[in-house]
Amino acid sequence: MAGGCIDFVQLLNHDLSSHILSYLDDPADVVRVSSVSRAWRQFVISNGISKNLCLRLLPEVSHAVPAIEENNIVEPLEVRSTDDMEVEKLKKNHRVYAFLAQGLASSPGNCISEALCASSTDNYPEESILHTLEPRDRVDERASYWSSEGESDQGVPETLTFKLASKLCFINEINIQPFQAFFQYGFPIYSAKAVRFRVGHFTDQHMETDLVDEFEAGHRHIEDHVVWTYTSEDFPMAQENCLQKFKLPEPVFAVGGVLQIELLGRVQQQEMDGLYYVCVSHVQILGRPLKEDFVAEFVDLSGKCVLKYISKPDAASDSNPSTGDALEDGSGGSTPGPSRLHSFTARLVQRAGMGIERIFSLRGHGVLIMDEDSNDEDDEDYEDGENNNLDEVESDAEQA
């Protein structure tokens, strides 16, 4: 190697090289390593380095491995021949796991984006589902809660449907607080007997905006517009005025962006009319959504979706090179000029003649994940520039 650098991937045995790369703790570093040379990229892909890092950073993803690799839900796999199947699968998994590791939220949070609709509402909009997103018990001296219509049959269920923060989430837990009517005699609590959860996606993504508008206007026929892909077991609900936690047996790989809470059975009768109601004060859906710069777009109704990064140009970084460098090296400080690593990745893209729509960009690290469909061209570029660029890439990777 030029400059006396040692290519340990070729020099050392397979197990030792894998062990060294297992110490990488940032998805961007995996991308940097796979950009060093053709041999390094093949080593990273064939040994599942990005997968191992993703599962280490985000343990929830381990429960979705069959969906990602066997059912092929996340990204459609196109194979040109039987001999290429395993190779193409490894390359696809490398891209997906690297993308998930960078795109999913680093810590669990509330995944609710909007309240869509309730199966019934007693007094709309005063007792709308929208109030379940309000953390306070009272707003403007009025109780904040959703109430179903009254029923004489205790077995009539109700549903509350929410739009998730992204079309791809890992859901861990749903928290629900029944409503206690402090303004009624005896302070009754209108809980359900049990709850169940469903996740799914709209049948027609182009109609999603119109459907949401309809639901907000009081319509409630969401069942005609959603395909449910997961249904949980039943969880008993206590008749207690507290935020009750319903932890799923394992994280749910929610592809589609819709979650529904089924409230099964009624326990509290209202004294004034003798009817049974279900009322809810608060709802939380905890999990890991995609970060705001990442989206999942559906390919078809089978549940397949493509992960994408939405590039947001930073005018400040264009006019001030030091600002961009602060993002690239992750230090928060400034550097005197464009990093050599950024220049190298830019040259790779330019030589491959690839458009921005074929590139997954990891913002904040100055590195790129390139579409593997152009592997032959990319391999030639790696080989042509390997000797000239390995020194500079290794040096910048160490500094970053």
Q: What is the CATH number of the domain that holds 179?
A: 2.60.120.260
What integer pLDDT is reported at residue 32 of this predicted model?
Answer: 82
Residues 98 and 121 in one domain: no
Beta bridge partners of 260: 161, 198
- Mean pLDDT for 129-145 is 90
Q: Say whether pLDDT at 385 is over 70.
A: no
Degrees to nearest 5, angle at CA 274 with 268 and 276: 35
Which residue would you say has higher pLDDT here, 304 or 19? 19
Which of 8-17, 187-196, 319-328 is most confident? 187-196
Domain identity same for 15 and 152: no
Residue 172's pLDDT band, with cuts at 50, 70 and 90, is: very high
Q: How many CB atoms lie within 10 A of CB 237?
A: 20
Q: Do 353 and 307 share a structural domain?
A: yes
Q: What is the pLDDT of residue 274?
A: 96
Q: Residue 250 pLDDT > 70, yes or no?
A: yes
What is the average per-residue pLDDT within 10-28?
80
Note the helical H segments in 206-275: 208-216
Please determine, for residue 364, whether its predicted confidence score (pLDDT) is greater than 50. Answer: no
**Residue ending a domain, choose from 256, 289, 322:** 289
Name the E strands within 152-257.
158-164, 168-178, 192-202, 226-231, 235-236, 244-255
Judged against a pLDDT cut of 80, whether residue 205 lies above it is answered with no
Considering 289, 319, 348, which residue would you say is the last residue of a domain?
Answer: 289
146, β-bridge pairs: 280
Q: How far apart are CA 21 and CA 17, in angstroms?
A: 6
Average pLDDT of span 16-28? 83
Do 211 and 254 lie in a common domain? yes
Q: Which domain holds residue 380?
A: 2-104+295-399
Total structural domains within the chain: 2
* Residues 129, 36 share a domain: no
Contact 370/348 with Cβ under 8 angstroms? yes
Same domain, 227 and 269: yes
pLDDT at 184: 94
pLDDT tier at 248, thresholds 50, 70, 90: very high
Do 269 and 351 have their domain in common? no
Mean pLDDT over residues 190-202, rounded? Answer: 95
Q: Among 131, 129, 169, 134, which residue's Cα sits nearest to residue 258?
A: 169
Residues 95, 204 within the same domain = no
Which of the residue ranges 113-127, 165-179, 271-285, 378-392 would you say has the lowest mean pLDDT?
378-392
Are residues 210 and 127 part of one domain? Answer: yes
Residue 87 confidence (pLDDT) above 70: yes
Among 228, 261, 289, identify where a domain stops: 289
* pLDDT classification of 303: cutoffs 50, 70, 90: low
